[in-house]
Amino acid sequence: MTTATKTGTPIERIKDEKPGLDILDDIDELAAQHGGWETIEPGDRERLKWIGTFFRKPTPGRFMMRMRITNGRLTSAQLTALAALSSSLGNGVMDLTTRQQIELRDIQILDVPEILRALCDIDLSSLQTGMDNIRGTNTCALSGLTPKELFDASPVGEEFTRMFLGNREYTNLPRKLNVVFTGCLENCVHAETQDIAMTPGRGPGGLNGFNVAVGGKMGSGGMTVAQPLDVFVELQDAARLASAITLLFRDAGSREKRTRARLAFLVDDWGVDRFRKEMEERWGAPLAPAGKDARYDHEADHLGVNPQRQEGLYSVGLCVPTGRTCADDMAELARLAAAYGSGSIRLTVGQNVIIADVPEGKLPALLDEPLLSRLSPDPSSYARGLVSCTGNDYCNLALIETKSVSRRVVEALHSLYPDAGPLRMYWSGCPAGCGNHHAADIGFQGGKTRYEGEVVDAVTIFAGGKTGPDARAARKIVDQVPVSTLGKFLPGLIAKLKGNKFDPNLDLTETDMPGIDFES
Ligand code: HEM
Ligand code: SF4
């Protein structure tokens, strides 16, 4: 049973006319249409997102396909197969996303059935990765490996995914739903910005489990920190509880306006006490009060060489600046993961990758591999913390180019101030905020402004965002700085943020980055 109320929004109407996931039954026929993508009617173009196939206005006829990588975990064989699909049926560009997912570019509609079949063969799926669905569930990229976790939460993400994937009960939510289950103590997944956030806690008798928060979000309305529900749930019940919250959202969430349809608005309308009561009613038994919060204060990115909890084994986290990579590099990464580790590869929400289970004796040879000169285990402090959304090369909503300009900014900063400590700079090409800029030390939101008589690319700058136990949204510092003048502006801002560690005489208006023109 799904309970879409009939409302006026175009997307609700499309769903009422024909459920999104029904497009799976039609895809062979759509793909075979001789007219190709032009003949796909607008409703079906939206429905294609239910099978992870996204029309991209900047590249008409060339779709993006989003892969669901549950827990950000994949095997060498899976990554090899994805890289092969990207080279043979796409343009070889692969994007790692801030939800530990992978996007393939330049896919033609006629090839979608073949890709869906290939995904089945490697036990991956692109279903329900867009629109009003539960997106790829996130967990710590080092789950099961890091000594700094209370427990491995990945089985819960897998169990939850088995409940909803391909199940039409969950495919008509009022809006998207982001979910994290994590046992990591180092706050590595921005849990507090999720619709459902399950973070490590100790319940009655010191039992390990999750404390539950709901209604987090990011985006154009800013960052809303998920509100603690005062609920503790044991691991074996957590997926069922997430399911109950999802179905409560499905049935009670507002569908009147897309801009007020996220779970955050239901939590806001009801208040936490009523939300908890409604949950308890559905659950059919008293929910335990929150346990002791086990999270540390700091955030980790899990890059570099780190000892695993398994004696003698190491994880090697590599930086993929802005997550933009290519089929050849991903195929090589898959080879290295099998040759040096167990073949297990992890994706991080910082758009980076980790090779797991490398024996100590194999570390020197792995670190010598040519791929690691491009995807570094020891990147500059700026590259390490860099995140960037898709930007205008593939996203029609983008007001600026993000991926290469942000890379040029970090390279310039590194050449001038190589000793800066860690700094997380996150870029979004527009207010939608897919680059999580409200959670950054310095967040950039793309826009346009007038400068020297011309309309130019600009960024509104935010600072001081944080996730973890004391999560807070970044504060707006300045509106619409022309991108070409960032060289003048950024060093001073960073110096201020870092207590003038760079240069005590730096002045925000007078500092300069000699020779850097970010628009070239
Ligand atoms: C009206 C609001 C939004 C719109 C229209 C929007 C649009 C998009 C588009 C078009 C893409 C795909 C671009 C591409 O790679 O080709 C995308 C990806 C993405 N967006 Fe948004 N977005 C919105 C809000 C958000 C918010 C609030 C977040 C949370 C921070 C977010 C997180 C993401 C992520 C993580 C991806 C990468 C795919 C994934 O891993 O799921 N988006 N978004
Ligand atoms: S933030 Fe804007 S530009 Fe970037 S991917 Fe999202 S919608 Fe596109």
DSSP designation for 56 = -
Q: Are residues 172 and 276 in the same domain?
A: yes
Average pLDDT over residues 443-470: 96
- What gap in Å lies between CA 376 and CA 367, rounded to an integer? 9
Catalytic positions: 66, 175-176, 429, 434-435
Residue 412's pLDDT is what?
87
Question: Among all chains, which residue has been given the structure tokens 């999750």?
Answer: 210
Model confidence at 182: pLDDT above 50: yes
Q: Please give the residue range of the domain that contains residue 205.
A: 154-293
Q: Are residues 493 and 415 in the same domain?
A: yes
- Ligand 2 pocket, mutate which of 55, 135, 397 (most atoms under 8 A from CB): 397
The gap between the terminal CA atoms of the chain, to the nearest Å, is: 55
Q: Which ligand is nearest to the CA of 58?
A: 1
Residue type, 263: L
- Using the atom order of ligand 2, give the atom closest to the CA of residue 391: 3
Q: Which ligand is nearest to the CA of 64?
A: 1
At 414-436, the pLDDT tens digits run: 888 887 778 999 999 999 999 99
Residue 403's pLDDT is what?
96
Q: Are residues 288 and 416 in the same domain?
A: no
Give the count of domains, the chain: 4
Average pLDDT over residues 402-409: 94
Average pLDDT over residues 116-122: 98
Which of 346, 361, 379 is a domain's end point?
379
At 58-97, the pLDDT tens digits run: 888 999 999 999 999 999 999 999 999 999 999 999 999 9
| 76-80, 171-175, 452-456, 487-491: segment of lowest average pLDDT | 487-491
Q: Are residues 374 and 407 in the same domain?
A: no
Q: Is residue 519 part of a domain?
A: no
Q: Is residue 132 part of a domain?
A: no
Backbone angles phi, psi at 134, to 5 degrees: -80, 120
Which of 349, 379, 409 is a domain's end point?
379
- What gap in Å lies between CA 144 and CA 183, rounded to an integer? 9
| 311-320, 326-335, 485-494: segment of lowest average pLDDT | 485-494
Model confidence at 104: pLDDT above 70: yes
Residue 102's pLDDT is what?
98
Q: How confident is the prediction for the chain on average, in pLDDT?
A: 93
- Using the atom order of ligand 2, give the atom closest to the CA of residue 428: 1
Residue 418's pLDDT is what?
83
Residue 4's pLDDT is what?
45
Nearest Cα residue to 243 out of 163, 175, 178 = 163
Q: Are residues 285 and 236 in the same domain?
A: yes
Question: Among all chains, which residue has been given the structure tokens 């308890």?
Answer: 280
- Asked whether the beta carbons of 76 and 334 are under 8 A apart, the reply is yes
Q: Are residues 360 and 251 in the same domain?
A: no
* Band (134; pLDDT cuts 50, 70, 90): very high
Residue 490's pLDDT is what?
86
Q: Are residues 89 and 196 in the same domain?
A: no
Q: Is residue 1 part of a domain?
A: no
- Decide whether any atom of ligand 1 lies within 6 Å of the 135 Cβ: yes
- What gap in Å lies between CA 201 and CA 291, rounded to an integer? 5
Q: Which CATH number do you get for residue 265?
A: 3.30.413.10
Average pLDDT over residues 196-215: 96
Q: Which ligand is nearest to the CA of 63?
A: 1
* Band (361; pLDDT cuts 50, 70, 90): very high
- Decide whether any atom of ligand 1 lies within 6 Å of the 67 Cβ: no
User: Is pLDDT larger for residue 508 or for residue 315?
Assistant: 315
- Asked whether the beta carbons of 482 and 449 are under 8 A apart, the reply is yes
Ligand 2 center to residue 300 CA distance, Å? 25
Ligand 2 center to residue 396 CA distance, Å? 8
Nearest CA to ligand 1 atom 43: 434
Q: Are residues 284 and 329 in the same domain?
A: no
Could you tell me what percent of the chain has a pLDDT over 90?
86
Q: Are residues 393 and 491 in the same domain?
A: yes
Model confidence at 39: pLDDT above 60: yes
Q: Is residue 128 part of a domain?
A: no
Average pLDDT over residues 144-149: 98
Q: Which residues contact 95 (CB under 8 A, 6 or more apart)?
A: 102, 103, 105, 323, 324, 325, 390
At 256-308, the pLDDT tens digits run: 999 999 999 999 999 999 999 999 999 999 999 999 999 999 999 999 999 99
